[in-house]
Amino acid sequence: MSYNLLKGKRGIIFGALDENSIAWKTAERVHEEGGTFVLTNAPVAMRMGQINELAEKTGSQIIPADATSVEDLQNLVEKSMEILGGKIDFVLHSIGMSINVRKGNHYTDQNYAYTQKGTDVSAMSFHKVMQTLYKAEAMNEWGSIVGLSYMAAQRVFPDYNDMADNKAYLESVARSFGYFFGKDKKVRVNTISQSPTPTTAGSGVKGFDGFIAYADKMSPLGNATALDCANYTVSLFSDLTKRVTLQNLYNDGGFSNMGVSNEVMEAFVASEKK
């Protein structure tokens, strides 16, 4: 169902890889709601994914950009405004990567060169994106910038590894930069802390299926899907949330406020009896 919530709005969507990714679902929903956008991803990710298919489907152009490169981001912002015919109203930062996770390095045995690269890609890139937009005066007033986070920024999930630190950094950048973007340009900045979602990025984390099953049993409404996240993002891009900023917003079926659920207790008691 479409409500035309984003009619006439222009944006940039980072990180669409394949149809499982939250950015992909968000792009589809933004398109349905009347928004136009440029798609962008790192050149290496574009070779792996099916972004051309999404571009065709949504009538969008693709600009490859390495989100850790200020030069690439400047080019992206400049070209996006040319293509879209004006300033930007919304931006989705849906980027995260940990080489330590990929290589199976334990949190207590990190390769710090990998750690640094992961931090740059997953968190510092959010600052770089916003700084580039800010300096270029590229955002319209009442524009909206959203980054995707996860609960491990606040609580311990042992196998989430250094991605937990990256997400904590991401959320801090959203608040700190969000203050200046709000005061100086009337732009809002928020992060969405999403349920564990079976995306290509998420599935690299050890024991991820267990994360998903546990969170689903803990949450009164069950896990939020990628489509749920896309819908929530659309609401944050729309004019209906004009005064929502500096927030980390949980889209997780209630997981973040749970101590324990009956289902988890029952499973635990059953395994104890064995």
Q: pLDDT tens digits, residue range 118-134?
A: 999 999 999 999 999 99
Helix, strand, coil percentages (3-state) for the chain, rounded to 5, are: 50, 15, 35
What tokens were used for 271? 């395994």
- Higher pLDDT, residue 205 or 92: 92
204: number of Cβ within 10 Å: 15
Full DSSP string of 124-162:
IHHHHHHHHHHHTT-EEEEEEEEEEE-GGGTS--GGGTT
Do 60 and 39 contact (CB within 8 A), yes or no? yes
Active site annotation includes 214: no
- Per the listing, tokens 């606040």 go with 154
Active site annotation includes 3: no
Domain parsing of the chain, residue ranges: 10-273
List the binding residues: 15, 21-22, 95, 167
Please check the confidence at residue 48 and state whether its pLDDT lies above 80: no
List the binding residues for NAD(+): 15, 21-22, 95, 167
Q: pLDDT tens digits, residue range 207-247?
A: 888 889 999 999 999 999 999 999 999 999 999 999 999 99
Please check the confidence at residue 204 and state whether its pLDDT lies above 90: no
Please check the confidence at residue 202 and state whether its pLDDT lies above 90: no
Query: What Å distances lie between residue 68 and 77, 95, 204, CA to CA?
Result: 14, 11, 21
What tokens were used for 241? 């949330």
Q: pLDDT tens digits, residue range 133-172?
A: 999 999 999 999 999 999 999 999 999 999 999 999 999 9
pLDDT score, position 46: 81
Query: What Å distances lie between residue 243 and 6, 139, 273, CA to CA?
Result: 17, 16, 52
Treating both helix axes as pointing N-terminal to C-terminal, what angle do 125-135 and 163-185 enclose, rounded to 10 degrees?
Answer: 20
pLDDT confidence of 192, banded at 50, 70, 90? very high
What tokens were used for 185? 């340009």
- Give me the catalytic one of 107, 134, 160, 214: 160
CATH 3.50.50.60 fits 10-273, yes or no: no
Q: Rounded CA gap, 173 and 127, in Å?
A: 6
- Give me the catalytic one of 150, 214, 232, 250: 150
